[in-house]
Amino acid sequence: MTSYERVLNTIEGKGIDRVSAAPEIFGLSARINGYTIKQYVTDAQTLALCQIKSQQVFGCDIVFAFADTALEAEAVGCRLYYPDNAYPYIVDHIIKTSKDIDKLKIPDPFRDGRMPLVVEACRSMHNELKDDCVVTACVPGPISLAAQLSGLETFMFLIADDLDSVEKILNFSEDVIMRYAEALLKSGAHSIMLFDPVASPAVVPPSVFKDLEAPRLKRMTDALRAMGSKFLWLSIAGATQKILPLFSGIGIDLATVDYVVPISDAIRLTEGVIINGNIKPLSFVTAQPDEIKQIAINCLNEAKGRFILGSGCEMPLESKPENIGALIDAAVSSPL
């Protein structure tokens, strides 16, 4: 059974040979293969190569077309700073006052900023891995992009002071994301992950998720499925218990939960959604492989099926590579 078949069968509730394993390995793949993060996020071929090589070495079932969380905001016009060996970050947010919102232009994914780079990486990964391994492209959720465009603190205060502007920024963000996601799907991505860390109750109140984000996510997942995304994946870190019951209504197939959410709770709260998770990020750095394997086996036992083993959060850049192996090993060696 190929990785692709294993993941798709899991999603569709069909038979599988073993549980799929899909830890969120992004920049870590650069570190493992001897590239800097700057090279990884600025060169399509490096990104594709590092993902493919890590997949071949460790046998993960999904590779990721994703550079960093500032990429879309940069394409809209935010200025970034690029450290040599860490992710770039925004130094100048494009929305300073509500007047700036109407001036924003939706970027062209084939031309603006580094969007074309990820589009190209998608194409390379698909060409190389064919339909043997899933290529998932990651895009932000509207709240996460909106917070990047205005700056997080400004965005939070806008929620309290000026909901009209918040709605406008979210609508714009949704348009940016959809256009970008469409380009990624056209270029070989099998599926889209909505990476939405700011939508977490750790940051915005659950009522904001319910009223402002959930309806948008539903609209987006419907459209993305129509565009050919084989499945839809939502990743939100932190204690998400309060918003998990909404997940079954927003059209997602797979949801990542962080280590602070017990897998049994996640399964109970999200009917019909497959759960992916959930190991403490720090343990990939500090724990020994046999400990990681045991923690992963515990996850598998707690999940009892309808589950994809993963990291629950981005795997830290300084994770021990052996610990990726240990995670995959748990999936390979555990009986169904």
Partner 1 sequence: MIITTVFSIIITMNGYSLEHLITAVVAGQNDRAVSIAEVLLKNGTSPESLIQDGLTVALRSLDAKCTAEEFNLLEIMLAGRAMMTVMDNVIATHLLSSSTIEPVPEKTIIIGTIKGDIHELGKNVVKMMLKAQGLRVIDIGKDASPESFVKAAMLESARFIGVSSLITLTMPFIREIRPLLNDTGLDNVKILAGGAAIQQASPSDLNVDFVAQDVFDAVHYLNGLTS
Cβ atoms of 211 and 170 within 8 Å: the answer is no
Which residues does residue 63 pair with via DSSP β-bridges, in sequence order? 135
| Residue placing its CB nearer to partner 1 in the complex, 57 or 202 | 202
Distance (Å, whole) CA 238 – CA 22: 19
Tokens of 134: 């899933």
286 binds, among partner 1, ligand B12, none (CB under 5 to 8 A by kind): partner 1
Q: How far is CA 285 from the centre of its chain?
A: 20
**Residue of the chain from 72, 174, 314, 329 that contacts ligand B12 (CB under 6 A):** 314
**Minimum separation from the CB atom of position 308 to partner 1 (A):** 23
Residue 300 CB contacts under 8 Å (≥ 6 apart), including other chains = 19, 307, 309, 330, 331, 334
| Residue placing its CB nearer to ligand B12 in the complex, 203 or 275 | 203
Cα angle: 260, vertex 266, 272; to 5 degrees: 155
| Residue placing its CB nearer to ligand B12 in the complex, 8 or 118 | 118
Strand 274-277's sheet: what is its strand order?
A: 20-21, 307-309, 274-277, 254-256, 232-235, 191-195, 134-140, 62-65
**Minimum separation from the CB atom of position 238 to ligand B12 (A):** 3
Does position 89 interact with ligand B12 (CB under 6 A)? The reply is: yes
**Minimum separation from the CB atom of position 317 to partner 1 (A):** 5
**DSSP state letter for 305:** S
Interface residues with partner 1 (CB under 8 A) are 86, 89, 152-153, 156-157, 159-160, 201-205, 208, 238-239, 241, 280-282, 285-286, 316-318
Does position 202 interact with ligand B12 (CB under 6 A)? The reply is: yes
Distance (Å, whole) CA 309 – CA 278: 7
Per-residue contact flags (x/-) with ligand B12 for residues 213 to 252, judged by CB under 6 A = ------------------------xx--------------
Distance (Å, whole) CA 82 – CA 316: 18
Which residues contact ligand B12 by CB under 6 A?
26, 68-69, 86-87, 89, 148, 152, 197-198, 200, 202-203, 237-238, 281, 313-314, 316
